[in-house]
Amino acid sequence: MSTTRSENDCSRVLLVHGIWMTGIEMAWLGRRLSAAGFQVDRFHYPTLTRTPAEGAERLQRFIQRRGYGCLHLVAHSLGGVVLLNLFDRYPDQPSGRVVLLGSPVQGSAVARRLAVRRWGRYLIGRSGERGLVEGAPPWRGKRELGVIAGIHGVGLGRLLGGVEGENDGTVMVSETVLPGSSDRRLRDTGHMGLLFSAAVANDVAGFLRSGRFPA
């Protein structure tokens, strides 16, 4: 099935997964977006052996090959960092909106704790460069971008320590703050729960339609 779309068709959504993932775990969110009338694609990239900037290069080639006329981008966790690297390096993207789910765009305290341990460096690989350790580039996209963060603090960060204040168990809400974003929402769910929550899927669909999260 061709993925080429006209400039006036903004039903296509591309899902970008987070660290240690393959994209399969985003299938539940994808099914809900499909039920809401969107046509959903998924993008896979190596999260440990390549930097987020290199992931962005791979994503750029993926988008160019498919010739999207209009494309919404929805990213979870490290995927959001890859998107900021994409717009930083390749700002001329197809029109559409962007939603980030639990993305530590300011860098991750959990990743920084891992980075100072030899075994921890194996777990984060090269994701820290312009990413989980150093923080993502500033948001440079000239389009509407929404941020959803979880506040159900049960997850990896509780085991490793370093998460403070409101958090989703892995990423602190403060780490998801992105100057220039259009709208923001907090949901009572954990980091991976963002991908399985019906309320979050409804938020994403609403933002992609209107550029604001539904009331």
Q: pLDDT tens digits for 2-59?
A: 333 333 459 999 999 999 999 999 999 999 999 999 999 999 999 999 999 999 999 9
Burial class (CB in 10 A: 0-12, 13-18, 19+), 150: buried
Q: What would the mean pLDDT of 187-215 be, rounded to a whole number?
A: 97
What is the 8-class DSSP label of residue 26? G
Whole-number pLDDT of residue 119 = 83
Q: Which amino acid is at 163?
A: V
Whole-number pLDDT of residue 65 = 97
Whole-number pLDDT of residue 141 = 84
Whole-number pLDDT of residue 157 = 60
Evaluate whether 78 touches 26 at the Cβ level (below 8 Å): no
Whole-number pLDDT of residue 6 = 39
Q: Is the pLDDT of residue 214 over 50?
A: yes
Choosing among 3.40.50.920, 3.40.1190.20, 3.40.50.1820, 3.30.43.10, the CATH entry for 12-210 is 3.40.50.1820
Q: What would the mean pLDDT of 153-168 be, rounded to a whole number?
A: 75
Residues whose CB is less than 8 angstroms from the CB of residue 49 and which lie 6 or more positions away in sequence, other chains included: 125, 126
What's the farthest any 2 CA atoms get from each other in the chain? Answer: 50
Evaluate whether 47 touches 80 at the Cβ level (below 8 Å): no
Evaluate whether 144 touches 72 at the Cβ level (below 8 Å): no
Q: Show the DSSP H helices in the chain as ranges.
A: 27-35, 52-66, 78-89, 109-115, 118-124, 156-160, 198-210
CA distance 73 to 78: 14
Q: What would the mean pLDDT of 163-183 be, rounded to a whole number?
A: 94
What 3-state DSSP class applies to 12? strand
Beta bridge partners of 186: 149
CA distance 107 to 6: 36
Whole-number pLDDT of residue 163 = 83
Backbone angles phi, psi at 39, to 5 degrees: -105, 120
Where does the pLDDT of residue 164 fall: very low under 50, low under 70, confident under 90, or very high at 90 and above? confident
| Percentage helix, strand, coil for the chain under 3-state DSSP, each rounded to 5 | 40, 15, 45
Rounded to the nearest 10 degrees, the angle between the axes of helix 78-89 and helix 52-66 is: 70
Per-residue pLDDT tens for 76-130? 999 999 999 999 999 999 999 999 999 999 999 999 888 888 888 888 999 988 8
Whole-number pLDDT of residue 9 = 56
Report field, pTM of the whole predicted structure over 0.75: yes
Whole-number pLDDT of residue 139 = 95
